[in-house]
Amino acid sequence: MTKFSPKFKLKIFTNDGEVLSIVTKKKRRFLAEIQAVPSAEVAKYVLSVTYGTITNVHGEQVTAKNEGEYTTLGELLFAVRILSDPAEVRAIKGKP
């Protein structure tokens, strides 16, 4: 059984045009980094969660990932919770 560890990649676009990047596999560290930036200063969040490689229906190895753009911290945290759920990965990899 493989350990479930998605890779989180986040770009935070601030109101003054600055871009902050966070890349980690540790969910706790990822959430701490998000909380360090005041949400009033954020224009948008761009989240990418990578699960690893899978074989598609054509027999090709492809990277399984979800991406999204969020305007509020609440939307971002909800997406992180959903996309870091092991059941999500099983659905992507086609396992029950």
pLDDT digits (tens, 9 = 90+) for 47-91: 999 988 888 889 999 888 899 999 999 899 888 888 887 665 555
* Residue 60 Cα to chain centre, angstroms: 23
What's the one-letter identity of residue 32? Answer: A
pLDDT of residue 5: 76
Mean per-residue pLDDT for 33-52? 90
Q: Which residues pair with 54 in a beta bridge?
A: 62
Backbone φ and ψ for 13, nearest 5 degrees, come out as -100, 115
Please report which residue ranges of 52-95 form alpha helices under DSSP H: 73-83, 86-92
pLDDT of residue 54: 83
Domain edges within the chain: 7-92
Q: Which residues pair with 21 in a beta bridge?
A: 11
